[in-house]
Structures are given as C-alpha cells and as structure tokens.
Amino acid sequence: MKTYLNPSKEKWEQLTKRPELKAQDLNELVASIFQTVEKLGDAGVRGYTTRFDQVEIFDPKVTSQEIDQACDLVPQKLKDAIETAEKNIRRFHTTQAITETTVETQNGVKCWRETRAIEKVGLYIPGGTAPLFSTVLMLGIPAQIAGCDRIVLCTPPSKDGSINPAILFAAQLVGITEIYKVGGVQAIAALAQGTESIPKVDKIFGPGNQYVTAAKSFALTKGVAIDMPAGPSEVLVIADETSDPSFVAADLLSQAEHGADSQVILLSTSEIMLNRVQTEIEVQLASLPRMEIAIDALNNSSFIQLETLQECLELSNKYAPEHLILAFDSAKEFITQITNAGSVFIGKYSCESAGDYASGTNHTLPTNGYARNYSGVSLDSFIKKITFQELSASGIQTLGPAIEIMAEAEQLIAHKNAVSIRLKALANA
C-alpha cells in the first residue's frame, strides 16, 4: 500500500488512477474470437473452450440430470444460506416494479408508458477459482420478475467438464434451466451472434475479467445491448477516528482478493487510523487462501489522509467507486453529499460482503468510473419502456396547428400534411 498525507487536489486524480489495460491487443483477440465463432458456430466455441479451459465439450448444454445431481452435492447449510439471499434479493427487486399513470397533456391528448420485458437475455457467470453462484441470484431474479421469455446462462466448465454445483443449485432455485458450459470471450461471442446450440440474445449481463469485459463491449457492435461497461472490482472506504481498524482492513481485503487488478482505496482524516489499518491488514492477510492475489491488488492501492470528511467525499465523488463504505459513526449525515457511487454501505457494521451476497441489493455494479453515469443492475435493466399516445378528434384539432407550424419551420412538409389532412377531414365533416 502507498500512503499519502494531505496531497493537493491537483494530485488526487493521479493517486486514484485505475490500472491500465492493454486495450489494443485485447480488442484484436476479441474480434478474432467473435469472427471465428460467427463463422464456425459450435465448433468455434468448442475449439476455444479446449484451448482456454483445457476441456473438450461436444454438447455444451447442461442436462436436467446434471442439475439434479449437482443440487444433491450442495451442503444443506449452503442451500439454506442461498435461499435466505434469494428471498431478500427477490423482496428488494420486487419493490422496483412501478405502475405508471396516463397523463392528459391537453384536452384530447393522452400519453402514457407501458413496461415490456426484454425477450431474450444472456447471463454470464464467472467460474474458475471463484465461481460466483451469488451472481446467478443477482441476475436471474430480476430477469424472472421482469418476465423475460428466455433466460440463457453461460458459465465456464472445470477441467472435468462439470459446472460448480452451487451455480447449478442457484440457477435451479430461480428457475433457470437453459445453461451452457461455455466461458470467456467465446461465451459472449456465442450469446451475441448465436450458434447451432446457443441462442442469440437481446442483452448480455454479468461480470468477468478484462477479456469478458472487452467482449461485452464488442457485442455492442453486433447490435446486442449489455448491462454496463465494467472493469476490475473496486472499493473505496472512508474512515475517521471512530472507525474500527479491523473492520476496515477486512473490507479492503475482501475486495483485494477478487483479483490482482482489483483496486482498494482508503481515505481517512486520521493518520493513526491509516497506520492501524495497515497493521490489521498484515495480520489478516496471513490467513487468507488468496493471499498472493490480495497482495498484488494492495500493491496498486492507495491510503490517503485528508483534512476533513467533506474532502474525503469530494475525492470519492471524483473517483466514482463501485463500492463506497462510510465506516464511521456519523456516516448517515453525509449521504446527501454522495453523487457518484455504485453501491453505498453506511456505518461500521455495513460490510460490502452484505451487498455482495444477501442484503437484497444487486452486486452487479458499474466500475472504472462508470458510476458517474450508470446505475447498477436492477429490475429496470431487464425491461424497456414503450410510450403510447392517443389523440381524439378534438385533440388533433387543438394540438394540430402547433404541429403544422413546427413541421413547416423544419421544412418537413410531409409531417405537416399528416396533420393538415386530418384537420381538413374533420372540418369537412
């Protein structure tokens, strides 16, 4: 960790700079994989799965028998925990459904919006060293509440060709049965373009490494939407003299263990707190199975002391973190000052892990500064809003003259005529 004491505002951006990716090489690889999958379909996907995951899979679709067998392998305590999370996530996302009202903008002119689910959605669930079964809940539940016709899940297989049992249990719990043993860029390419086995979807969701992130961005060129641009996971913690250094250290490490490219930042008004947190990190690191990964992440992270909590919030808003933890006693007093953050955790007992797993909020969040202009995944991510309008005879007579004048001013005479011909017909009647 690098420690900075009262740096000037001119240095803030440099001190919180995110790790840079080699975009050119990455984009060329992604484009090549997309092209191969588009040309060869399942065979192309199979080739890349053999190359990257070291397993050859001829039929990527997970069978109902595999799902049943996997569910039997999940310990009951884990099943209970997943079910608790499922209920909270479902409860929180169900409240996001809004019934809109019809507005009569003027006499005889009615306007309203109606919600429609996105028909086909693809969910990408990372596997590998950290199979994120929790993400199945975070994406599958709002997709189901929204009423998406087809929910397609892709996740990378292990070297024996199986899928982590907890992922399949979570999928079964939320009613997802269309699951494919495909990961990485080839999974995104298949969802974006379709193959003989894997359907093309309308929108792709889910986190992933830098390759998956680049692939999702490339999917936009194929006319497929994505949940949001994203990058490595990140957390920013604000602490003062009332904070518990062991809590703060645990929160920083929980993010650092995601990956070597994760970023953790600690802001504090107290240099003593910064030192105590560093001591706690060294103690807690020793017992972590993913210690080496966490150490790599911490090497790219910053501990910054500033004069006031207001300055800490100002820097945080400039950085726009994926996760923001206000780990001090007066945290609720500063909520209105937060303008840029993916998800916020208020007070010393609100650990980021709660949002990652079971509090009810969604953990699929904007990273890499996109919290300035993107929201995290919610029910709204799986729906679209269609506007409607209905004009009566009196409505077109009242509004028509204004439309005619505006259309003629823009020299769109056919637009004007669409109104004029109706007004003439009503006048003749």
Give Cα separations from 52 to 57, 164, 172, 202, 303 (angstroms).
12, 18, 27, 26, 37
Is 5 a domain residue? no
pLDDT above 80: residue 24: no
pLDDT in tens, 59-81: 999 999 999 999 999 999 999 99
Of 93, 258, 323, 363, which is the active-site residue?
323
pLDDT in tens, 336-395: 999 999 999 999 999 999 999 999 999 999 999 999 999 999 999 999 999 999 999 999
Q: Are residues 92 and 72 in the same domain?
A: yes
The angle at the Cα of 401, spanning 395 to 405, to the nearest 5 degrees, equals 140
Q: Are residues 308 and 407 in the same domain?
A: no
Which of 204, 226, 248 terminates a domain? The answer is: 226
pLDDT value at residue 231: 79
Domain housing 412: 392-428
Average pLDDT, the chain: 96
Q: Are residues 180 and 52 in the same domain?
A: yes
Q: Are residues 367 and 401 in the same domain?
A: no
Q: Are residues 193 and 170 in the same domain?
A: yes
pLDDT in tens, 68-116: 999 999 999 999 999 999 999 999 999 999 989 999 999 999 999 999 9
End-to-end CA separation in angstroms for the chain: 81
Which of 185, 211, 226 terminates a domain? The answer is: 226
Q: Are residues 204 and 241 in the same domain?
A: no
Q: Are residues 123 and 184 in the same domain?
A: yes
Q: Are residues 94 and 213 in the same domain?
A: yes
Q: Count how many residues are written for the chain.
A: 429
Q: Are residues 57 and 99 in the same domain?
A: yes
Q: Of all residues in the chain, what percent carry a pLDDT higher than 70? A: 99
Is residue 322 part of the annotated active site? The answer reads: yes
The answer to whether the CB of 126 falls within 8 A of the CB of 209 is: yes
**Mean per-residue pLDDT for 35-61?**
97
Of 322, 352, 363, 404, which is the active-site residue?
322
pLDDT in tens, 190-217: 999 999 999 999 999 999 888 999 999 9
pLDDT value at residue 222: 97
pLDDT in tens, 209-259: 889 999 999 999 999 999 998 878 999 999 999 999 999 999 999 999 998
Is residue 292 part of the annotated active site? The answer reads: no
| Number of domains, the chain | 3
- Helix boundaries (H) for 210-331: 210-219, 245-256, 271-285, 291-299, 309-319
pLDDT value at residue 232: 85
pLDDT value at residue 21: 62
Q: Are residues 220 and 88 in the same domain?
A: yes
